[in-house]
A and B are shown apart, each in its own frame.
Chain A
């Protein structure tokens, strides 16, 4: 593992080494970076004093993000049969007023 400030520390626990090579981080704001599309992470520089980061293989990061999406989908189905699209209604309004 690299020893840069704020980067996850620890011994890789997953047998495929390539799983520990996360894509390079793209700075998306003062406080957040993006390594996988639409998955934002707190900038590691901000996690150097009071919290320690865990080492994650890439598949686990993606699994957690996908799990979150599944949970939100489940919650929609739990509360209603369908979810209406605001964009569709907005387009209708624009068509009617033009």
Chain B
């Protein structure tokens, strides 16, 4: 325990929550020290929190935050802990607030098509309940079975079907948040809980969306619901070269099909990776060098009409349909990528246990091809010097219904147990270079994960310009004692120039 966490603080927390929900055991603390993003094993101990609390209500969260603020103790909210940018990692130890007990469904409003939930509920479990009413909450990350609503707010999450239904920022109508001083406010479009468009005041929902735990703790959210789709359509196509696939995905995304929920482009490196281990691609002929898939959801007649249009576009672009079995199976697997057992290859082809990490950016369609080349070069240089890294290829995924920009990802296998200080430093440098390429091409450092981690975080001020100064001012104003997730996003700068 750090000096700041005295017995007095412990007593105050136990008085507020009861001793069963103030956890100090090594197991409870170490289980909340990290997220899936790789980090050198010999440094894991640096990020173990001093204690964990598990509040059940907004009032309890507010009390915990007030105690932390009074005693100047770092405090970090944790939801599913599935993020890839360390938002839930207590870099300065202190108190981790695990919200998993706050997983209740408080209301399902069938007339207005909304539901109100605690931040600790998982979308899959929520949708099992909503399905009984013919409804769905279509926020669909690759961690769909294990990520939680509060974490989606904290990271401003990206959804696989966001081109049809929007992403977390669009699907969350309003939410309650405990500010770093313990005050509780609700943010949305205007003041109403169930308002999707307002012109009243600043749009504070977007200020707090993607807060990464630096501005407060979300304790309740009101969500937008849709009819559960009658039909799904998810064709996968093969191409003999990247350029043909790239042209095709652009045409699919620009087609204006109303049920279009997304399109994905996989490059040659990704296909090579899939040929190692993926049952759908191991038997594919050598001339399969790039892949495209498209996805539609909605009413059966509309999906059928839209799907037919997409099939025609792909056929005219030279695509070869991979068949129903591969198409349907591959798409279903994409809702649940965290369950995939992972391994990579050393330079001599031997299998080695590797963790998955993906660097992402938001890139306009016209810049995808050049970003791809530059990113692969960076990872190739990294692997040449440090064979604990393995290039698992890239994919490009539409973020919107017009095809303007793509979630652009390079997947990198990392042999985490072998990461030493030198290879970690090289990885951080590579991350910075990857982010710099995205900015040089007019993109954003991250479409999906956030940009808090070592390396890319250095370039956030460059990306946001004067906007970053506003971030510093907001942080200083709302969190005068810098207790909320201190160190993230480089926001300690907000306090350094104070007299």
A residues whose Cβ falls under 8 Å from a Cβ of B: 28-29, 31-32, 38-40, 42, 46-51, 71-73, 75-76, 78-87, 89-90, 92-93
Contact = CB atoms under 8 A, between A and B. Distances in A.
Main secondary structure of the interface of A (DSSP, over half): mixed
24 contacts: A32-B282, A38-B279, A40-B279, A46-B345, A47-B350, A49-B350, A51-B343, A51-B351, A51-B353, A76-B328, A78-B124, A78-B127, A79-B136, A80-B231, A83-B231, A83-B234, A84-B232, A84-B304, A85-B324, A86-B321, A87-B324, A89-B233, A89-B311, A93-B312
B230 A48 contact: no
Given A46-B351, A75-B332, A92-B308, A82 B276 contact: no
B124 A50 contact: no
A90 B332 contact: no
Interface string B110-132: 00000000000000100110010
B304 A89 contact: yes
Prevailing SS type, chain B contact patch: mixed
Interface string B253-296: 00000000000000000000001110100110000000000000
A38 B352 CA distance: 24
B300 interface: yes
B444 interface: no
Interface residues of B, number: 46
Contacts of A42: 276-277, 351
Contacts of B323: 86-87
B311 A86 contact: yes
Given A46-B350, A51-B352, A87-B324, 18 more contacts: A28-B282, A29-B282, A31-B276, A40-B283, A71-B332, A72-B332, A75-B336, A76-B332, A79-B297, A79-B335, A80-B228, A80-B229, A81-B300, A82-B300, A84-B231, A86-B324, A89-B233, A90-B321
A38 B308 CA distance: 29
A32 B311 CA distance: 32
A80 B235 CA distance: 15
A31 B349 contact: yes
B402 interface: no
Nearest to B327: A86
Contacts of A71: 332, 336
B307 interface: yes
A81 to B, nearest CB: 5
B124 to A, nearest CB: 7
Contact of B303 (A48, A76, A84, A93): A84
B192 interface: no
> Which of A49, A51, A79, A90 has most B Cβ within 10 Å?
A79
A89 B307 contact: yes
B332 A84 contact: no
A42 B312 CA distance: 37
Contacts of B128: 78
A12 B238 CA distance: 42
A69 to B, nearest CB: 8
B230 A81 contact: yes
B244 interface: no
A91 to B, nearest CB: 10
B327 to A, nearest CB: 6
B459 to A, nearest CB: 35
